[in-house]
Structure 1
Amino acid sequence: MKNYAIIVAGGSGNRMQTETPKQFLLLNNLPVLMHTIKAFAQSETQPKILLVLSADQHQNWHNLCKEFNFQIPHEVVNGGKERFYSVKNALDLLDEPGVVAIHDAVRPLVSKELIDACYGAATEKGNAVAAVKPTDSIRKKNGDYTEAVNRDDFYLIQTPQVFDLQKIKNAYLQPFSNLFTDDASVVEHSGEIINLVEGEKNNIKITYPTDLDLAEILINKKPFK
């Protein structure tokens, strides 16, 4: 059984209010994406890493790797129009039996402990998805009104999301649907039950400028290799 990791880096800089795609913005003097790849390379799982990038960003990434002397082995894969097709492009390159993690490029603070826990649970149960309980109150929209709901009934889903390779490849044979919000929803739609693993509050997704500021604070609070 082989371990794989697909890092999905197709985002733009729109909500970051910058022309630079957010995965290439500097965090602690290193592009965000490099922190993310390093987390997987430093895990006990030691997966083969595939990086999904839009074709027009391949040269930019190549230049950044040279500039920052980034030498962690990884394979670059063409992204698709939708995230669904980006992931599928990477899955189509994998054929040996194994377990595959799919992770957002802009979650650079994921710990190696969480990565290894997700791989372990997926190896045992067929899949494992990182998730945390919400701490804020939640209201549900109901027509023109909202109603309070019990936050204990809800989870906030993160990545990594780790799956038996054959099961997720089978799931990605389905036609694309707008109901697919992440890889877990694709696999669930194919008939699989999704298993949750306790995620991490620090495993933030960098989407807005304040997220980058917070990540800078968090990354400098912990020992860094």
Structure 2
Amino acid sequence: MLYTVLIPAAGSGKRMGADKNKLFLELRNIPILVHTLRVFDKDPNCEQIVLAVKKTEQLFIEQLLMDYRITKVSAIVEGGEERQHSVYAALKVVTSKEVILVHDAARPFIHQEVIEQLVKAAGASGAAVAAVRAKDTMKKVEDGIIQETVDRESLWIIQTPQAFQYALLEKAERLAEAEKFLGTDEAMLVERLGERVHIVDSTYDNVKMTTSEDLLYGEAILNKREQEEQ
């Protein structure tokens, strides 16, 4: 099944301690953004990629697309103040209105098999998100004091991609904008509609490059994948 992926890429490098967009930082001499784009660019089921970027960075990103021969970016839109606004701006220019994926630009290690399962699940049920089970003991805390130990068997760590049928995501985004509601992810907006969002098992190496320590982890993942391919 074909899909379109929306990639909000208008963030910053504050938590990374960088003086530029963290997506331009490099792993193996290649920008994080390019690593992420390559996953979808080489996927035959990916019909198009839509990027939401800072206006001041658009020319630089367009040059990256040419330099690294990324061919499936069909549109680049100006990102908004929040991630949610960037996703909605990207959604408005989509031409293929079937299954839509939303993926963090700073998650370059998503597996192809997970993408396939997400697209299949969203096509069948409407909405699905990549996630992994919580491994650590989880505590509910108030004012620095533990209130209770939460059963981690029911807890999942949510990642991206998040996959939706176009009509469902469009309705959720439109309603959130009308009601001035700001969610933490697209699944939250869909949940507000009373719709079910299914979980697709992902991998723990689908990490988001957020801090400088994550860059070291990213290098380790690349080393591991090279060894697996030998």
Give TM class, smaller chain.
Answer: over 0.9
Choose from 218, 221, 224 the match for 1:221: 224
1:71 and 1:41 mapped to 2: Cα distance? 6
Q: Is the 8 A contact 1:43 1:115 kept in 2?
A: no
> Is 1:9 the equivalent of 2:9?
yes
| 1:151-203 Cα shifts (integer Å, max 9, x gaps) | 1121100000000001100111123324x100100111122111110011010
Cα displacement (A) at 1:8: 1.3
Give the alignment of 1:174-185 within 5 angstroms: 174=175, 175-178=179-182, 180-185=183-188
Instruction: Give the number of equivalent residue pairs.
Output: 222
Q: Is the 8 A contact 2:118 2:130 kept in 1?
A: yes
Q: What is aligned with 2:167?
A: 166
Q: What is aligned with 1:70?
A: 69
Moved over 4 A (4+): none
> Is 1:107 the equivalent of 2:111?
no
Superposition CA RMSD, Å: 1.7
Cα displacement (A) at 1:95: 4.8
Distance 1:78 1:153, change over 3 A: same
> Is 1:137 the equivalent of 2:112?
no
Secondary structure of 2:103's counterpart equals: strand
Structure 2: state its 5+ residue gaps.
none
Secondary structure of 1:20's counterpart equals: coil
Cα displacement (A) at 1:43: 2.6
Which stretch of structure 1 is more off in the superposition, 164-173 or 93-102?
A: 93-102
1:15 and 1:76 mapped to 2: Cα distance? 25
2:95 and 2:44 mapped to 1: Cα distance? 22
Q: Is the 8 A contact 2:4 2:96 kept in 1?
A: no
Q: TM-score, normalised by structure 2?
A: 0.90
Q: Is the 8 A contact 2:121 2:127 kept in 1?
A: yes
> Is 1:197 the equivalent of 2:200?
yes
Give the alignment of 1:13-92 within 5 angstroms: 13-66=13-66, 68-74=67-73, 75-92=75-92
Q: Is the 8 A contact 2:37 2:70 kept in 1?
A: no
Q: What is aligned with 1:207?
A: 210
